[in-house]
């Protein structure tokens, strides 16, 4: 039996193709939700949009400091793993849920598979970098999305026989949901937007939104971009960001802020955006897959493939650099290769886990 551990919005989305593959292959599995994300629009909305079965367990750990959150998740997961005795545990990505899940399982000598292994920003100030390095080094089987990610693992001494390049399950999720999003969805109309007539923005990284200067830089940059191009800026706002905008008393005038959107709504916006500005990992990948140019509001990225194919550029959070990067990306042709695979990563992961067992 396979235990699929997830806890945040991107994990629900990126694990959904693996859950579907388990169902299609008739595999015995269960889902364990840590409850790291818990607001309706960061959690339940995705189970509904993606029509995913209810998790068998939800630890409801909620928010906290890194140690509090990671510790609570480990304690909860250990109890369930001792009862259920799965043969393998799958974790995805780089969140505290992943760190805690991989640690708890490996100490019980349960095989750990890490989906989206091998990503590196080479910036250990990011909590995600610590989480992914630890998870990679204690996993028994690693599923990097690309050859670049595989190379990162091998440079760190992880044996090649543990590594299987699968593509990124986000490509599966886009393929499985884009047509449904287009068919079912009238969000563009509801927001009064036209295709390619707006910029789409997300930002939630701790190093950006918990830092007043960087968050202010992002908001000023967005206003400058709106003035320059006379196009609406749509910003579905992560709760962490909403909290910090309020705490710093910053103005959102001129920016069309919405609550976080469900996956079908969001895909619809992303596919129709003129350009995406973001610090999200998932958005750098998705916009690249969708053929929408991306300006990344960070100084580094663990998704270098997006920059290499010409779909993405690193801007940081200085307003004038953001503006220049938008101008640059809009002047480029929108044809590049999708480096994230053929949309069959989920099935590959499940088949490989079964083979390893
Ligand atoms: C987490 C991950 C990050 C990932 C992101 C995806 C870690 C260290 N960080 O960041 O890598 O990119 O999820 O979105 O694991 N909050 C709510 N409702 C929720 C969840 C959070 O209101 O459902 C608010 C709370 O005020 C909380 C804050 O957001 O304190 C941050 O939540 P947390 O899960 O700690 O980190 P994220 O910023 O969401
Ligand atoms: N997303 C969404 N609604 C939103 C913002 C993002 O459905 O309002 C999706 C997006 O399509 C992508 C994922 O959430 O698949 C990215 O999650 P997030 O940016 O929170 O985390 P990261 O990828 O940076 O870890």
Mean pLDDT for back-to-back runs of 10 residues, the chain (357 residues)? 97 98 96 98 97 97 98 98 98 98 98 98 97 98 98 98 98 94 85 96 98 98 97 98 98 97 96 98 98 98 98 98 98 92 98 91
Question: Do 103 and 213 reside in the same domain of the chain?
Answer: no
Residue nearest to atom 4 of ligand 1 (CA): 95
Substitution site in 6, 7, 9 for ligand 2 pocket (most atoms within 8 Å of beta carbon) = 9
Rounded CA separation 239/318 (Å): 23
Which CATH number covers residue 193?
Answer: 3.40.50.2000
Q: What pTM value is reported for the model?
A: 0.98
CA-36 nearest atom, ligand 1: 34
Q: Ligand 1 centre from 258 Cα, in Å?
A: 17
Question: Do 192 and 122 reside in the same domain of the chain?
Answer: no
Place of tokens 């920016």: 255
Let me know: does 71 contact 101? Beta carbons within 8 Å: no
Question: Do 226 and 349 reside in the same domain of the chain?
Answer: no
Q: Ligand 2 centre from 161 Cα, in Å?
A: 32
Triad 110, 116, 118: Cα angle to 5°: 95
Rounded CA separation 19/171 (Å): 15
pLDDT the model gives residue 334: 81
Rounded CA separation 37/60 (Å): 9
pLDDT the model gives residue 356: 86
Whether residue 15 is contained in a domain is answered as yes
Q: Ligand 2 centre from 342 Cα, in Å?
A: 20
Question: Do 15 and 65 reside in the same domain of the chain?
Answer: yes
pLDDT the model gives residue 184: 75
pLDDT the model gives residue 226: 97
Closest CA to 234 of 191, 178, 205: 191
Return the beta strands (E) in 42-171 as ranges. 57-58, 88-92, 111-115, 141-143
Question: Do 142 and 254 reside in the same domain of the chain?
Answer: no
User: From the CB of 106, is ligand 1 less than 6 Å away?
Assistant: no
Q: Ligand 1 centre from 96 Cα, in Å?
A: 10
Tokens of 123: 């910036």
Alpha carbon 149 to chain centroid, angstroms: 16
Tokens of 211: 């830092």
Substitution site in 239, 262, 285 for ligand 1 pocket (most atoms within 8 Å of beta carbon) = 239
Question: Do 352 and 279 reside in the same domain of the chain?
Answer: no
Q: What share of the chain is helix, strand, coil (3-state, %, to 5)?
A: 50, 15, 35
For residue 120, give Cα distances in angstroms to 103, 251, 301, 314: 19, 34, 8, 15
Which ligand sits nearest to residue 173's alpha carbon? 2
Whether residue 180 is contained in a domain is answered as no
Residue nearest to atom 33 of ligand 1 (CA): 63
Radius of gyration of the chain (CA): 20
pLDDT the model gives residue 73: 98
pLDDT the model gives residue 92: 98
- Count of structural domains within the chain: 2
Whether residue 81 is contained in a domain is answered as yes
For residue 295, give Cα distances in angstroms to 1, 124, 316: 41, 22, 9
**Length of the chain counted residue by residue:** 357
Question: Do 324 and 346 reside in the same domain of the chain?
Answer: no
Whether residue 336 is contained in a domain is answered as no
Whether residue 6 is contained in a domain is answered as yes
Let me know: does 18 contact 103? Beta carbons within 8 Å: no
CA-97 nearest atom, ligand 1: 15
Question: Do 105 and 214 reside in the same domain of the chain?
Answer: no
Q: Ligand 1 centre from 240 Cα, in Å?
A: 6
Residue 238 is among the residues annotated as catalytic for this protein: no
pLDDT the model gives residue 183: 83
pLDDT the model gives residue 248: 98
Query: The domain containing residue 154 runs over which residues?
Result: 2-168+342-356
Let me know: does 245 contact 215? Beta carbons within 8 Å: yes
Residues with CB under 6 A from ligand 2: 9-10, 13, 202, 204, 236, 260-261, 263, 266, 280-283, 286
Whether residue 178 is contained in a domain is answered as no
Whether residue 175 is contained in a domain is answered as no
Question: Do 230 and 283 reside in the same domain of the chain?
Answer: yes
User: From the CB of 135, is ligand 1 less than 6 Å away?
Assistant: no
CA-10 nearest atom, ligand 1: 6
User: From the CB of 85, is ligand 1 less than 6 Å away?
Assistant: no
Question: Do 81 and 51 reside in the same domain of the chain?
Answer: yes
User: From the CB of 266, is ligand 1 less than 6 Å away?
Assistant: no
Question: Do 318 and 199 reside in the same domain of the chain?
Answer: yes
Q: Ligand 1 centre from 328 Cα, in Å?
A: 32
Whether residue 176 is contained in a domain is answered as no
Residue nearest to atom 28 of ligand 1 (CA): 240
pLDDT the model gives residue 185: 73
249 φ/ψ angles, rounded to the nearest 5 degrees: 65, 40
pLDDT the model gives residue 339: 98
| Residue of 37, 114, 204, 238 with catalytic role | 204
Question: Do 234 and 202 reside in the same domain of the chain?
Answer: yes
């Amino acid at each position: 039996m396979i235990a699929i551990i997830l806890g945040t919005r991107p994990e629900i989305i990126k694990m959904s193709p693996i859950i579907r593959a388990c169902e299609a292959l008739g595999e015995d599995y269960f889902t364990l939700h840590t409850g790291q994300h818990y607001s309706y629009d960061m959690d339940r909305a995705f189970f509904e949009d993606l029509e995913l079965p209810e998790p068998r367990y939800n630890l409801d750990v909620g928010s906290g400091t890194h140690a509090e959150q990671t510790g609570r998740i480990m304690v909860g997961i250990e109890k369930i793993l001792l009862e259920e005795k799965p043969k393998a545990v799958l974790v995805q990505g780089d969140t505290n849920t992943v760190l805690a899940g991989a640690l708890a399982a490996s100490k019980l000598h349960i095989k750990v598979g890490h989906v989206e292994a091998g990503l590196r920003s080479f910036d250990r100030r990011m909590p995600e970098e610590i989480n992914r390095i630890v998870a990679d080094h204690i996993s028994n089987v690693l599923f990097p999305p690309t050859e670049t990610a595989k190379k990162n693992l091998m440079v760190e001494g992880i044996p090649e026989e543990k590594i299987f390049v699968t593509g990124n399950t986000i490509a599966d999720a886009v393929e499985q949901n884009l047509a449904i999003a287009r068919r079912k969805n009238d969000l563009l109309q509801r927001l009064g937007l036209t295709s390619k007539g707006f910029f789409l923005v997300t930002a939630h990284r701790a190093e950006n939104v918990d830092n007043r200067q960087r968050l202010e830089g992002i908001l000023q940059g967005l206003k400058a971009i709106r003035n320059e191009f006379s196009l609406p800026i749509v910003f579905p706002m992560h709760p962490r960001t909403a909290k910090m905008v309020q705490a710093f008393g910053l103005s959102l005038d001129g920016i069309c802020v919405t609550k976080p959107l469900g996956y079908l709504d969001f895909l619809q916006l992303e596919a129709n955006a003129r350009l995406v500005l973001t610090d999200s990992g998932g958005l750098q990948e998705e916009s690249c897959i969708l053929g929408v140019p991306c300006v990344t509001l960070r100084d580094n990225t663990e998704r270098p493939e997006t920059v290499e194919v010409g779909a993405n550029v690193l801007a940081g959070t200085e307003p004038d650099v953001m503006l220049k990067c938008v101008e640059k990306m809009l002047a480029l042709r929108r044809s590049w290769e999708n480096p994230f695979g053929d949309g069959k990563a989920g099935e590959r992961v499940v088949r490989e886990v079964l083979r390893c067992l």
